Amino acid sequence: MAVPVSQAWTVATYVLKQKLMGRKKYPLVLMLEPLFRCNLACAGCGKIQYPAHILKSELSPEDCFKAVEECGTPMVSIPGGEPLLHPQMPEIVAGLVARKKYVYMCTNALLLKEKLHLFKPSKYLSFSVHVDGQREHHDFSVCREGGYDIAMEGVRAAVAAGFRVTTNTTLFDGADPNSVRAHFDEMMAAGVESMMVSPGYTYDKAPDQNHFLGKAKSRRMFRAILSNRKKEWEFNTHPLFSEFLMGKQNFECTPWGMPTFSIFGWQKPCYLLQDGYADTFQELLDSTKWENYGAKSGNPQCANCMVHSGHEASAVDYNFGSLKGFLTTAKRYMFSSLYPDEGAQKLLNEWRPEHASPLIQIQAPVGTTKTELQSISGD
């Protein structure tokens, strides 16, 4: 199974409790951002374009624990920035594990091997390593030659030390489905527990806005990638979310499903958009005009979004929202399909890489010197 039975049971009982309580808006995963600084400058992100004083700021362990308790979710994802640059990250993770939260600590793994001794293996902790495909594609995406090899050293070291290790792959326009499928083989061979794959999202601060996928391209690409699967591939996403990416399901966004807490507070409305902040989680729920978000709202910022942070929660909610949803999901888990599809195989056989323009390389924040940037990133 892609996740421990105890984790699946914890999430299922949590969601059922929310349903029995009649809660329409409940969080599934807390996106906890303790810092924005990073040791990479990925063209599809842009977090390090914040001013230097913001990049030097970070949440304390107490701030993190308070946010988790406010939110009440059983799962916590720790993105960034690069969490391993936070000097108190081992303390934060240990505190969350002690609270029996299932933690996915997102990392580019450049520092994972050297920091591994600061953490203890636990069923509650998974290193979610960002690997954007095979070596050449990954290095191109993160704008750092040799990044793939360093990351995979970290992956193998973590697996050998007994840690749960998953991978997170973000795909942009121009990705080759055949290469992505070969990437899945490589990750399984490296011993990772499971994989997540999702289309790149139109993140406002990203310096490159030309390589995000629209919905039609996303569905075509993910149909080619996720159909005709190999038995050994394990994914840690809800099966109906995978079908959504393939164009087999249609879900609206659930922007409150994966709320974000950072040094600025609770982000409105979601991880991808910045329309203000709330001081408390309850204020986030009460003050955000949720009807203004999601594809159905007509908001142009949401028109092409298919990202997991907005739509996987929708799949989970559908799972427990009706007898039909429950039976559909149960069938997927009990009789998992490899999704045979002759048309998808034809797509793979005939796929030709598109001639896309190069990724735009990120620039340092205005007014930030090279020395300051190196100090901020920890290099």
Each residue's pLDDT tens digit, 248-257: 999 999 999 9
Listed range (50-59, 255-264, 301-310) with the worst mean pLDDT: 301-310
Q: What are the CA-CA distances from residue 288 to residues 26, 273, 281, 282 (Å)?
A: 14, 12, 11, 10
Whether the link from the prior residue into 257 is cis, omega within 30° of 0, is no
Cα 233 from Cα 133, distance rounded (Å): 15
40-92 pLDDT, tens digit each: 877 767 677 788 899 999 999 999 999 999 999 999 999 988 999 999 999 99
Block residue for tokens 């955000």: 288
Domain 27-350 class, CATH top level: alpha beta
DSSP secondary structure letters along 337-360: -----HHHHHHHHH-----PPPPP
pLDDT of residue 368: 44
Q: Which residues are bridge partners to 171 per DSSP? A: 199
Q: How far is CA 354 from the centre of its chain?
A: 26
pTM of the model: 0.89
Tokens 């055949």 label which residue? Answer: 178
Task: Judge whether residue 180 has pLDDT over 50.
Answer: yes
Domain residue ranges of the chain, discontinuous segments joined by +: 27-350
What's the pLDDT tens digit per position in 159-174?
999 999 999 998 887 7
Structure tokens that stand for 259 in this block: 């709320």
Q: What type of residue sits at position 235?
A: F
Rounded Cα distance between 140 and 253, Å, is 30
pLDDT at 360 (0 to 100): 47
Spell out the SS3 assignment of 271-282. CCCEEEEECCHH
Beta strand 260-262 pairing with 274-278: unpaired
The burial class, CB within 10 Å (0-12 / 13-18 / 19+), for 135 is middle
Instruction: Write the DSSP assignment of 94-129 as a string of letters.
Output: HHHHHTT-EEEEEE-STTHHHHGGGS---TTEEEEE
**Residue-wise pLDDT tens digits, 332-357:** 989 989 999 999 999 999 998 765 54
Least confident range from 9-18, 332-341, 350-359, 366-375: namely 366-375
> What does the pLDDT read at residue 200?
75
Torsion from C-alpha of 150, 156, 157, 163, nearest 10 degrees: 130
